[in-house]
Amino acid sequence: MQIKLSSIFVEDQNKALDFYTRVLGFRAHADVPMGEYRWLTVVSPEGADGVELVLEPMAFGPARVYQKALFDAGIPATAFITRDIAAEYATLKARGVVFRGEPENMGPVIVVKFEDTCGNLINLAQPLMQP
C-alpha cells in the first residue's frame, strides 16, 4: 500500500495554484476540468515520484468549518519537509510568505508554521536525525 495523494482544502483553486507553484516552487501536475471545479494537483520537484498534493475545492460546507477550526487553533493542515529550514525560511519570507514565528527546535525536528493564503497553516519541518 502507498500514499500517492494528499489533499488540502482551498477556497480558490487558481489562487492556490499560483501560491503553490510560483511561491513554493511546486509544479502543476494534473489539471482536469470537473464541472465547476478541477482535479488539480501539484508535485514537489524534490519529492518522491508519484506523490501529489490535491488542491481540493471547498465545495462541501463542513470542510469550510473544519479548515477554519484548524487555522484558528493554529493546527497545520499538513507538513512539508526540507533539508535546510533556515535557507527555506529566508527564501519564502523574501517571497512574502507569512510565517507564525521563526524556526524552532522541537527535539528531533526544527519547525515553523506558515500561511498558504488559502486558509491553511503548513508546518515546515527539518528532521534533525536522518534515517
How far apart are the C-alpha atoms of 68 and 77, rounded to whole Å? 10
Question: Quick one: pLDDT at residue 72?
Answer: 97
**Taking the domains of the chain in order of start, what are their residue ranges?**
5-127
pTM over 0.85: yes
Dihedral sign for Cα atoms in the order 13, 18, 21, 25: negative
One-letter identity of residue 23: V
**Under CATH, which number does the domain 5-127 receive?**
3.10.180.10
- Where does the pLDDT of residue 129 fall: very low under 50, low under 70, confident under 90, or very high at 90 and above? confident
pLDDT, greater one: 131 or 120: 120
Question: Quick one: pLDDT at residue 48?
Answer: 84
Q: Give the three-state DSSP class for 30.
A: strand
What is the per-residue pLDDT across 35-52, written as a single tens digit (0 to 9) for each?
A: 999 999 999 999 888 999
Percent of the chain with pLDDT over 70: 98
Query: Which cell goes with 2?
Result: 502507498
What is the per-residue pLDDT across 27-39, written as a single tens digit (0 to 9) for each?
A: 999 999 999 999 9
Question: Quick one: pLDDT at residue 47?
Answer: 85
Could you tell me if 53 and 43 are in contact, meaning their C-beta atoms sit under 8 angstroms apart? yes
- The pair phi, psi for residue 20, each rounded to 5°, is -70, -25
